[in-house]
Amino acid sequence: MKKLILILAIAISVPGIAIFLSGCEAQRSLAMQKSGAQLWAENCVRCHNIPSPSAYNDVDWETIGLHMRIRANLTAEQQQKIVDFLKSAN
Amino acid sequence: MKKILILLVLFPFALMHVNAQDFKPSNTQFMVRGYGHTGLNFYNVDGDKTSTFVGAAFSPIFLFKYNNKFIFESELEFELEGNKLNIGLEYADMMYVINNYITVRAGKFLLPFGTFMERLHPSWINRFSNKPLGFGHDGIAPSSDIGLEVRGAFPVGVSTLNYAVYVTNGPRLKTGDDEPDEAGMLLFVNYEDNNLNKAVGGRIGLLPFSNSSFEVGFSVYYAGNVGDTGSEFDGVNALLWAGDLSFVKQITPIRGIIDIKGQYNHSQIGDAVYNDPGDAARATYTFNNQSSAYYAQLGYRPSMSGNKILKNIELVTRYSTLQTPDGSLWEGNESEMSFGINYWLSWRSVIKANYHLKTKAVAGADNVDTQAFYLHWAIGL
């Protein structure tokens, strides 16, 4: 029972902290200025080689974007900007 | 007549309208992907030489995106072992994006215990043809399990912080009844839990720089009970932790990409008394069940070179060690030094030529040296 409370406490507090920290709006602006192309170049090379936009069509990029956002723990904004860029450049 | 003419003129437009609707992209999408590898392995174990073609291995992956928040992923593994075909389910899980910061996964998923198993093990991603010591079969780190996970990422100033927290069936202690030599090891995947206790774990990762080139992560994994309910092993616990780091960046002065990866794993399993059928004199024994393993890998690819061939070549080196508990029947102290030259045919297809020198310390005897040379081709589909 104690374990269960612990698990629940962790499960609730981590996203809680996440939401709290994400409130630091002022500092965020710097990261938000990055373009989709820049985020793609910086992030999609971290685990495997970087795929070129022409490797997939728009519909595939939507699926891959969601898959990678979850697998690679990208932020929602990074996913959105990168997918928009890949779709515009393929 | 006029009416007919108007109709005739309008007809193609009407068709176009229908067509446009036909090709409206659907939110639902199904993708079949996967990867495979094949190659030649050459071994020299203290002078005994062997060589084999290996790798009739094929891993199809199915991605089903139901809508922009809900996606299902699964991977099957087909592998020849001996002359038998083994089929495995590497993972099969549902993922649901609750909001910008929280995503839930349920099912059998790769565990974010460090980064190697979740992010780097597929043959088209791994820079070497084998896993570092301590991972995979007989490894000390979990790779996948069945349960529930919450994960997400959010910006903190210019940095990015990511987290994952999960509850799974957890590992089972090998008691030695079936394989005496493995008494005290953990078996990580449990389709049916052997007790009421679940394993809890998580990883927190920080990418301190705004260019995301560097990430450090810390993972823990705890199971309060890894023994069968009601057995003499009931109540034995296990605490594992790992630290990982990654640095990948194109550096102009050296005209290429530097890729550094590493992970340290530590495992401490509670005390237990095991039977030793091979040694009548002592009959039972116990030991401090502590293991550790780590690897460090460095890669360089002259990606900015003007030469078409040179820019696809990658030089890699890796060092890994595995230390298993003194006094156990699987005690050991192994280390491996690896070198590789990879040639990238595309972003997801590679020819790897690897040389490994593995040294195993044997108590009271000479070390056993194994030299291996692998020539492999891997492709992500």
Put simply, the chain A residues between 22 and 51 with a CB less than 8 A from any chain B CB are: 22, 24, 27-28, 30-31, 34, 42-43, 45-51
Cross-strand pairs, B187: B172
The alpha-carbon gap from A10 to the nearest alpha carbon of chain B, in Å, equals: 8
The pTM assigned to this predicted structure is 0.87
Put simply, the chain B residues between 61 and 100 with a CB less than 8 A from any chain A CB are: 63, 65, 68, 71, 73, 95, 97, 100
Residue B36's closest CA among B353, B354, B318, B350?
B350
Identify which has the larger pLDDT, B189 or B33.
Answer: B33
Task: Identify whether the C-beta of residue B27 lies closer than 8 Å to the C-beta of residue B68.
Answer: yes
* Amino acid B216: pLDDT: 98
Residue B297's closest CA among B157, B36, B121, B138?
B121
Model confidence at B18, pLDDT cuts 50, 70, 90, reads: very low
Neighbour count for residue B12 (Cβ, 10 Å): 9
The secondary element (H helix, E strand) that includes residue B105 is strand B102-110
Most A CBs within 10 Å, among B29, B64, B73, B154, to test the A interface:
B154
Half-sphere exposure of B336 (CA within 13 A, CB side): 27
Q: What gap in Å lies between CA B109 and CA B217, rounded to an integer?
A: 19
Would the CB atoms of A48 and B155 count as touching at under 8 Å?
no
Give the residue-averaged pLDDT of B68-89: 89
Q: What gap in Å lies between CA B298 and CA B147, rounded to an integer?
A: 34
CA quadruple B202, B208, B212, B213: dihedral sign: negative
The alpha-carbon gap from B113 to the nearest alpha carbon of chain A, in Å, equals: 13
User: Which residue matches tokens 């595995």?
Assistant: B322
| Neighboring chain B residues of A30 at a CB cutoff of 8 Å | 157-158, 210
| Neighboring chain B residues of A58 at a CB cutoff of 8 Å | 25
Q: What is the pLDDT of residues A37-84, one digit of tens each?
A: 999 999 999 999 999 999 999 999 999 999 999 999 999 999 999 999
Residue A59's closest CA among B31, B97, B81?
B31
Instruction: Give percent of chain B with pLDDT exceeding 70.
Output: 92
Give the residue-averaged pLDDT of B8-35: 65
B346: exposed, middle or buried (Cβ count in 10 Å: 0-12, 13-18, 19+):
middle
Model confidence at B137, pLDDT cuts 50, 70, 90, reads: confident
- Comparing alpha-carbon positions, the chain A residue that sits nearest to B61 is A67
* Amino acid B279: pLDDT: 78
Model confidence at B80, pLDDT cuts 50, 70, 90, reads: confident
CATH superfamily assigned to domain B28-380: Porin (2.40.160.10)
ipTM for this model = 0.88
Q: What gap in Å lies between CA B267 and CA B200, rounded to an integer?
A: 15
Model confidence at B147, pLDDT cuts 50, 70, 90, reads: very high
* Cα distances (Å, whole numbers) of residue A27 to A21, B158, B218, B285: 11, 7, 25, 58
Q: What is the pLDDT of residues B220-252, one digit of tens each?
A: 999 999 988 888 898 999 999 999 999 999 999
The ranges assigned to domains in chain B are 28-380
Cross-strand pairs, B229: none
Would the CB atoms of B65 and A66 count as touching at under 8 Å?
yes
* Amino acid A62: pLDDT: 94
| Neighboring chain B residues of A60 at a CB cutoff of 8 Å | 29, 31
B261 at interface of A, judged by CB pairs closer than 8 A = no
Residue B236's closest CA among B194, B276, B207?
B194
Give the residue-averaged pLDDT of B53-73: 89
